[in-house]
Amino acid sequence: MEKLNSILSYLFNAVFFLFACSGFCYGASGCNCDFIIEENILYVDGNTLKITPGSTVCIKSSVKKYLGFANIHGTADNPVIIINCGGKVTVKNNDWYYGIRINNCSHFRLTGTGESKLTYGFAVMQTGEQIPGVSIGMMSTDMEIDHIEIANTGFAGILAKTDPDCSGIPNRGNFVQKNTFIHNNYIHNTKGEGVYLGFPHYRGVFKDCNGASVRVFPHDLIGVRVYNNLLENIGREGIQVGCATSDVKIYSNKIENYGRNNDKYQSAGVHLSTGTTGELFNNMVADGSGPGLWLNGAGDNFVYNNVFTGIAKNGDMAILLEDSMVTPGKGYHLINNTILSEASSGVVLNNNFNSSGNEFINNILVTTRGNNFFSVANPDSWREVANISAENTEELYLDGFMLSDKSPMIDTGIEVPGMPVPDDYVGNKRPRGNGIDIGAIESPYAKEVDDFSVYPSPFAGEAKIVFFLKEDSEVSLGLYDARGVLVKEIIPAKKMYSMSYNYSISDTDLSSGVYFCRLQRGKKFKAKKVVVQK
Model confidence at 67, pLDDT cuts 50, 70, 90, reads very high
Q: Is the pLDDT of residue 156 over 90?
A: yes
Q: Tell me whether residue 335 is in a domain.
A: yes
pLDDT at 289: 97
Answer yes or no: do 382 and 468 share one domain: no
pLDDT of residue 9: 40
Q: Is the pLDDT of residue 463 over 50?
A: yes
pLDDT in tens, 423-460: 999 999 999 988 899 999 999 998 766 688 898 889 99
| Same domain as 316, residue 438 | yes
DSSP state of 16: H
440 and 465 together in one domain: no
29 — pLDDT class (breaks 50, 70, 90): very low
Percent of residues, the chain, with pLDDT higher than 90: 80
Does residue 466 share a domain with residue 443?
A: no
The band of 526, judged by pLDDT with boundaries at 50, 70 and 90, is very high
Q: Looking at the domain assignment, is residue 365 inside a domain? A: yes
Question: pLDDT tens digit string along 72-118?
Answer: 999 999 999 999 999 999 999 999 999 999 999 999 999 999 999 99
Q: For the segment 190-239, what is each residue's pLDDT rounded down to a tens digit?
A: 999 999 999 999 999 999 999 999 999 999 999 999 999 999 999 999 99
pLDDT band at 264 (very low <50, low <70, confident <90, very high): confident
Residue 317 lies in a domain: yes
pLDDT value of position 449? 60
> For position 499, what pLDDT does the model report?
73
**Sign (positive/negative) of CA torsion 192, 193, 195, 197?**
negative
**Neighbouring C-beta atoms of residue 477, cutoff 10 Å:** 23
Mean pLDDT of the chain: 91
Length of the chain: 534
- Give a three-class secondary structure readout of 348-359: EEECCCCCCCEE
Structural domain of residue 486, as residue ranges?
A: 453-532
Same-domain status, 306 and 428? yes
pLDDT of residue 21: 41
Tell me, yes or no, whether 360 and 438 share the same domain: yes
Q: Provide the 10 A C-beta neighbour count for residue 134.
A: 28
pLDDT score recorded for residue 467: 87
286, pLDDT greater than 60: yes
pLDDT at 283 over 50: yes
Is the same domain home to 373 and 303? yes
pLDDT higher than threshold 70 for residue 1: no
Cα(57)–Cα(35) distance, integer angstroms: 5
Count how many domains the chain has. Answer: 2
pLDDT beyond 70 at 479: yes
pLDDT (0 to 100) of residue 113: 97
Residue 271 lies in a domain: no
Which pLDDT score, from 0 to 100, does residue 413 have?
87
Which strands form 486-496's sheet, in the order they lie side by side? 486-496, 473-481, 513-521, 524-532
Q: Report the C-alpha gap between 109 and 74 in whole angstroms.
A: 9
Q: Confidence class of residue 5 from pLDDT cuts 50, 70 and 90? A: very low
**In whole angstroms, what is the distance from residue 20 CA to residue 259 CA?**
50
> Do 436 and 325 share a structural domain?
yes
From the list 207, 204, 208, 240, the residue with the least C-alpha distance to 224 is 240
What pLDDT is recorded for position 316? 94
Can you give the pLDDT at residue 389?
A: 93
Check which CATH number belongs to the domain holding 504 and give it.
2.60.40.1930
**pLDDT reported for residue 142:** 98
508 and 435 in a common domain: no
- Enter the DSSP assignment of 298: S
Flag whether pLDDT at 18 surpasses 50: no
Is residue 322 situated within a structural domain?
Answer: yes
Q: With CA atoms as reference, report the closest residue to 126 among 98, 148, 146.
A: 98
Residue 394 has pLDDT above 80, yes or no: yes
Position 417 scores a pLDDT of 72
Check whether residue 299 and residue 436 sit in a common domain: yes
Indicate the range of 20-34, 137-151, 304-318 predicted with least confidence: 20-34
H-run or E-run covering 504: strand 500-506
- What pLDDT does 188 receive? 98
Asked if residue 505 and residue 403 are part of one domain, the reply reads no
**pLDDT at res. 470:** 75
Which of 20-24, 105-109, 210-214, 462-466 shows the lowest per-residue confidence on average (mean pLDDT)? 20-24
Percent of the chain with pLDDT over 70: 93
- For the ranges 2-11, 125-134, 178-187, 365-374, the lowest mean pLDDT is seen at 2-11
pLDDT tier at 30, thresholds 50, 70, 90: low
When mean pLDDT is compared over 2-11, 325-334, 451-460, the highest value belongs to 325-334
Q: Same structural domain for residues 324 and 432?
A: yes
1 contact partners, CB below 8 Å, separation of at least 6: none
Rounded distance, CA 146 to CA 143, Å? 10
Instruction: Give the residue among 437, 441, 414, 334 at the shortest CA–CA distance from 382.
Output: 334
